[in-house]
Amino acid sequence: MLSLIFVFLILKPPFFLCSLTDPVCFFRVKDKKNPEGDKDTDCSFFIYAEHGNMKNDYFIGSLDKQLTPKNVHLIFSLYFAMEEINRNPHILPNMSLLVNIKCNLVEEKKKYGLSPKRSENFPNYYCKNQRKYLIVLTGPIWAFSATFGPFRYMSRTPELYYGYFQPLLNVREQYPHLYQIAPKDTSLPLAMVSLLVYFRWNWVGVIISDDDHGIQFLSELREKMQRNIVCLAFVSIIAHQNLSFLKIADKYFNQIMMSSAKVVIVYGDKDSTVQVNFILWQSVTVKRIWISMSQFDRITIKGDFLLNSPHGTLIYSHQNSEIPGFKQFMQTVHPSNYSNEISFVRLWWTYFNCSLSSCNCKKLKNCSTTNLFKWLFRHQFGMSMSDSSYNLYNAVYAVAHSLHEMLLKQVDIWSENAGKGLQLDSWKMFSYLKHIQFINPSGDLVNMNQKTKQDTEYDIFYITYFNHFGLKVKIGKFSGQFPNDPQLYISDEMIEWATDFRQSPPSVCSRPCSPGHRKSPQEGKAVCCFDCDPCPENKISNMTNMDNCVKCPDDQYSNAKRTHCLKKVVTFLAYEDPLGMCLAGLALCFSSLTVIVLAIFLKHQDTPIVKANNRVLSYVLLISLIFCFLCPLLYIGHPHMATCILQQTSFAIVFTVAVSSVLAKTITVVLAFKVTVPDRRMRWLLASGAPNFIIPICTVIQLILCGIWMGTSPPFVDEDVHAEHGHILIVCNKGSVIVFHCVLGYLGSLSLASFTVAFLARNLPDTFNEAKFLTFSMLVFCSVWITFLPVYQSTKGKATVAVEIFCILASSAGLLSCIFAPKCYIILFKPQINSFHKVRKRHSKTENIH
């Protein structure tokens, strides 16, 4: 046996995966003529053993009783197990298991009552010839076992409960004689949440019964939901109250209908007031997807399915393999009642291997009733067992295996009791039963030890209801045997064929945030309720429902939809650009114009207008202006280390020469005027060319500043990734900002000094006095660079370089035009004025006037 179990555990995972490849469907017809529906009544099966091959005396008699279809189903599964055991030579050879059946004891108690003395109903002794039972199999109503269990303990009869697992019956101090065969539903909350996550349903309602079992389930469900970001839309705890059922049902009904949740989990005891509420809601169509346990897979006393919804119901059932030969056994035992298929499908679900390829309907919802019936009855049906029936079936086998193991260890009992009723120790057998494990005829491992029993495996069914029948389709499985790695297996083929879940809007509080957006929690609401805000610039979200947008790397930028990061384009002010081409053209034009002006001055160097105000200074100024106009060419094109250094140094030095030349020319005007006053020192300054030394002195100071700049932190090539969207701008970084501002400050102070001196000398009387022109030129120069500062700070990208170039060209053009344009006009168009004879004549007229 141990070797078989080991082989079973090794081979089970492959079988588990393969079981989804063969779809299984179930079919059942509503029985309107049956007033009981799927009502459960208590049935106790008193098991005893006899030597030899014996027949069950109660076999036919039990079926003739007034029983509900559920009871009949239970009795059939019990007799089927006993017949298999009694025919099996490997279990209890030369022995027979027999049963005494007692049903409806709760009703009899209510009707006739019990003796006031407990000892008369359940005596704690046995008469000599009285039959002693090995064990009592009780169920499926747990309240019956809880009520009568202590009395059976007094009669020294152990009890095995075959109904759904009930935690209250698991208290050993209160029920030491009782054991449960049903597995615990410890992994049911995780199984349900896993399905919700699979279908992306994160907004669900919950209906539970107001008892310890329901509250414990809700607590575990909340924990699993929080881990998987699934939220509760509402929780209806249906209490046992004395108020009118109609009033209570209306309250809970409104709570369901007012909620936006399209999926509702139903959990509770099958005999609680939860099912009463659903019966009252049968008259109104509730368009919700119900998720529940197999206890709620039942037909009510009205002849309708309990969880009836146009969207279908999802049911979790303990994984039970189908028992081969069960249908044939029922037909053999009771041929008058179960001679055709309709009688079976009214009793309980019948199963068949539903080959979807043979179905003419691509979607179950679109299938007509006629076509569906034609497809259904092409298959061979087999009778399935309910969970309680399957538990009862395994309970009989557990008793047989326990008794067999006990007898193997006490062989002498056989010879001592040969030909007599076997007097077996039921409590000793009960101790074996609690620890036994075996493989049943359907191939399932049955482990009776609750401590070592693995977590339950669930079959997941989708049930859809038509007018007079229901179709149950197996869509998946859940295995919780490994808590750290639970497995959910879903058949996509069956989902597509049987349901419309993928086409229906999901049950969510808020629509998923599409890529390019992020979730923004709604204040005071659950985490599943949120708004969708677009990602900011240079941040993306490439998946749905992202909590935060991800920042793009510095060398990338986000696209317009904020879903992808794109590679930034490397850019700079190139000669090929229209702007670069235009600025380069202006620079060359102005420099050429300056060369022409210089040529004119050289050609007419002996004329009075050229000689006035020191023609050497004019030549120096014109040459410096030529280089000023050529400076912008260093700003255009791909920056390099050399060009970056030359940009700043050439700009600083050339403009220093130009401004200092203007300052020297202004001082020359002042000295020339002062020469008219008898002052030998003034004449010496003017004759010695002292103003010419201003240029080298000022230039040397600027050279020193530039040397410090280059020695400490020179300019370098840098990448500006933020200046222009989608581009990486290659720029020249200034290096030391402090020294850069010192250079500009020095240049500004020279300009201010030149402007001040020129402004003071603007009204000095002299022929060809250019003080006014110098004043105006410096005014233009200073205005351009003062305007440059705020504009430079407000622009980005290539525009910044263009503004700098424009200011260089504008300020240089201002100097050229204001100082030399009037002189060139006189030289070229008024040559008669530009002569010594005219100058002397004008000078003599001035003296006569004075």
Q: Which two tokens stand for residue 131?
A: 């039959």
Confidence of residue 59 (pLDDT cuts 50, 70, 90): low
DSSP state, residue 633: G
Q: Which of 327-331, 518-522, 760-764, 792-796 is predicted most confidently?
A: 518-522
Exposure on the CB side of residue 816, measured as CA atoms within 13 A:
25
More confident residue, 130 or 493: 493
Q: Kind and range of the H or E element at 557?
A: strand 556-558
Residue 336 pLDDT = 57
Find residue 265's DSSP bridge partners. Answer: 206, 291
* 518-540 per-position pLDDT tens digit: 988 888 788 888 899 999 988 99
d(CA 498, CA 466): 13
Which of the residue ranges 232-246, 421-435, 566-580, 836-850 would you say has the lowest mean pLDDT? 836-850
Which of the residue ranges 164-173, 279-288, 584-593, 619-628 would you say has the lowest mean pLDDT? 279-288
Exposure string of 722-755, with b = 16+ CB inside 10 Å and e = fewer, is ebbeebbbbbbebbbeebbeebeebbeebbebbb
Ordered alpha helix ranges (H), 409-507: 412-416, 426-433, 492-498
* 477-495 per-position pLDDT tens digit: 888 766 566 688 888 888 8
d(CA 168, CA 176): 12
More confident residue, 293 or 2: 293
To 10 degrees, what angle do helices 326-333 and 69-87 make?
100
Q: Do residues 47 and 98 make contact, with C-beta atoms less than 8 angstroms apart?
A: yes
Phi then psi dihedrals of residue 476, to 5 deg: 180, -175
Residue 34 pLDDT = 67
Exposure on the CB side of residue 553, measured as CA atoms within 13 A:
5
- Give how far Cα 730 sits from Cα of 182, 325, 538, 637, 794, Å: 75, 83, 19, 10, 18
Which of the residue ranges 31-45, 588-602, 610-624 would you say has the lowest mean pLDDT? 31-45
Which of the residue ranges 303-307, 620-624, 637-641 would you say has the lowest mean pLDDT? 303-307
Q: Kind and range of the H or E element at 266?
A: strand 263-267
Q: Do residues 528 and 547 make contact, with C-beta atoms less than 8 angstroms apart?
A: no
Residue 14 pLDDT = 45
| Alpha-carbon torsion, ordered 197, 199, 205, 207, to 10 deg | -90
Q: Residue 200: which region, alpha, beta or left (left: phi > 0; alpha: psi -120 to 50)?
A: left
Region 374-391 average pLDDT: 79
> Which amino acid appears at position 274 of this protein?
V
> What HEC string does 285-317 produce?
CCCCEEEEEHHHCCECCCCCECCCCCCCEEEEE
Confidence of residue 35 (pLDDT cuts 50, 70, 90): low
Region 715-741 average pLDDT: 84
Confidence of residue 591 (pLDDT cuts 50, 70, 90): very high
d(CA 391, CA 459): 15
Residue 847 pLDDT = 45
Q: Do residues 683 and 675 make contact, with C-beta atoms less than 8 angstroms apart?
A: yes
User: CA-based angle 325:329:330, to the nearest 5?
Assistant: 125
Q: Do residues 205 and 265 make contact, with C-beta atoms less than 8 angstroms apart?
A: yes
More confident residue, 54 or 645: 645
- Sequential DSSP letters for 332-364: HH-TTTSSSHHHHHHHS-EEEE--GGG-S-SSG
- Give how far Cα 735 sits from Cα of 715, 741, 746, 833, Å: 4, 11, 18, 52
Q: Which two tokens stand for residue 595?
A: 């060369």
d(CA 824, CA 54): 140
Which of the residue ranges 243-247, 560-564, 597-601, 714-718 would you say has the lowest mean pLDDT? 243-247
d(CA 590, CA 808): 11
d(CA 339, CA 332): 9
Q: Tell which residue, 246, 235, 185, has the closest CA to residue 208.
A: 235
Which of the residue ranges 110-124, 311-325, 341-355, 663-677 would you say has the lowest mean pLDDT? 110-124
Ordered alpha helix ranges (H), 574-679: 578-603, 608-611, 615-630, 641-674
Q: Which two tokens stand for residue 597?
A: 């002006």
Q: Which two tokens stand for residue 510?
A: 């808020």
Count of C-beta atoms within a 10 Å radius of residue 636: 23
DSSP state, residue 562: S
* 3-state SS, residue 238: strand
What rounded mean pLDDT belongs to the chain?
Answer: 79
| Alpha-carbon torsion, ordered 510, 512, 518, 521, to 10 deg | 20
d(CA 643, CA 717): 9
End-to-end CA distance of the chain: 143
Residue 684 pLDDT = 54
d(CA 221, CA 228): 11
* 136-158 per-position pLDDT tens digit: 898 888 777 777 766 666 667 88
More confident residue, 477 or 273: 477
Report the DSSP pairing between strands 457-465 and 469-479. Answer: antiparallel
**Per this entry, what is the length of the chain?**
850
* 3-state SS, residue 472: strand
Q: Do residues 431 and 403 make contact, with C-beta atoms less than 8 angstroms apart?
A: no
Q: Is the pLDDT of residue 587 over 90?
A: yes
Q: Is the pLDDT of residue 653 over 80?
A: yes
Q: Do residues 768 and 608 make contact, with C-beta atoms less than 8 angstroms apart?
A: yes
Residue 662 pLDDT = 86
Confidence of residue 58 (pLDDT cuts 50, 70, 90): low
| Percentage of residues of the chain with pLDDT beyond 90 | 10
Nearest-Å Rg of the Cα atoms of the chain is: 52
Q: Tell which residue, 385, 381, 403, 401, has the closest CA to residue 393.
A: 385
Confidence of residue 585 (pLDDT cuts 50, 70, 90): very high
DSSP state, residue 573: -
Q: Is the pLDDT of residue 42 over 70?
A: yes
Residue 771 pLDDT = 73
Report the DSSP pairing between strands 263-267 and 289-293. Answer: parallel
d(CA 158, CA 514): 61
More confident residue, 90 or 612: 90
Q: Is the pLDDT of residue 617 over 60?
A: yes
Ordered alpha helix ranges (H), 29-178: 59-63, 69-87, 105-112, 118-121, 142-154
Which of the residue ranges 195-199, 270-274, 623-627 would you say has the lowest mean pLDDT? 270-274
Which of the residue ranges 196-205, 316-325, 585-594 would you say has the lowest mean pLDDT? 316-325
Q: Tell which residue, 478, 472, 447, 464, has the closest CA to residue 189.
A: 478
Confidence of residue 800 (pLDDT cuts 50, 70, 90): confident
Q: Which of 28-32, 629-633, 740-744, 784-788 is predicted most confidently?
A: 629-633
d(CA 230, CA 387): 29
Residue 178 pLDDT = 84
- Give how far Cα 530 sits from Cα of 513, 527, 546, 568, Å: 9, 7, 11, 33
Q: Which two tokens stand for residue 628?
A: 């000023």
To 10 degrees, what angle do helices 737-760 and 771-794 make?
150
Q: Is the pLDDT of residue 845 over 70?
A: no
Q: Is the pLDDT of residue 117 over 70?
A: no
Confidence of residue 846 (pLDDT cuts 50, 70, 90): very low
Residue 407 pLDDT = 84
| Alpha-carbon torsion, ordered 624, 627, 631, 634, to 10 deg | -140
> Which amino acid appears at position 383 of this protein?
M
Q: Is the pLDDT of residue 568 over 90?
A: no
Token pair 């317009």 in the structure block, residue: 560
CA 358 to chain centre: 39
Residue 11 pLDDT = 46
| Percentage of residues of the chain with pLDDT beyond 70 | 79
Q: Do residues 401 and 438 make contact, with C-beta atoms less than 8 angstroms apart?
A: yes
Q: Tell which residue, 386, 332, 325, 302, has the closest CA to residue 73.
A: 386
Count of C-beta atoms within a 10 Å radius of residue 813: 20
d(CA 247, CA 280): 11
Q: Do residues 270 and 182 make contact, with C-beta atoms less than 8 angstroms apart?
A: no
* 3-state SS, residue 461: strand
Count of C-beta atoms within a 10 Å radius of residue 687: 10
d(CA 231, CA 178): 39
Residue 528 pLDDT = 86
